[in-house]
Structure 1
């Protein structure tokens, strides 16, 4: 096996020669094509999701003693999966929210941020936003801040792809 320049490949565990500024090497020393910026994902093909008013969603979570939050995770993750073809999907998100609820805010914010990243935009929310829930719960308003930020970013994304609210 040899490197793209014709020299023999380094032994196992040894680094490949430095890539040229315009060329990077992937698995096995094979050259990787240079992709245009923002073209790492295929364009979403599925339908836009539903816009959920933040205040009403918070009220429903309170009135139903948190049961609405399980539905919320299911519905929003299902819509994101149908829209992009990637992500957890509704059933997995529901099961995680039900059995290991502490991970749901981190995963939800991460997937909402990925919607923006797929279009080449900066992520308005990420998994780090989930820190508003835990340990943010210690300041009481942390989960509300998380929900306002994450649901707001999701609603803005759905509006930008044509959803009616």
Structure 2
């Protein structure tokens, strides 16, 4: 998988960031740190009198100041998914993947039955084939209509 270029800066530590996490643009490290620590009941102590400057190097030295900065820049612990919600989301994703795979298999099966193997691919092949059939049916209907009109016209 190709990585996107990082054009954003983590609001917590200043590292490269790719997206919003818990309402703030953060790096993957701060996202994971916040998810693991925001809901913990345990009191974390600062070894440096709560005056730590959090950056890419120091972020590992003081969990308390890092977590406080996460909250200060606007990260929201309410946005952390519960284990149940995370499992439910994974199940929905898997069901959607299976549904799409089944639909693709059905399209491939119809294409094979119609003898449309690898002409275009996917539903586009069926659409192209059905459009051609519609055009042929329309032309045939027009021919039949013209014939019946000619037959119904009285001879002068």
TM-score with structure 2 length normalisation?
A: 0.22
Q: Which has the higher contact order (CA 8 A, sep 6+)?
A: 1
What TM-score do the two structures reach when normalised by structure 1? Answer: 0.21
Structure number with larger C-alpha Rg: 2
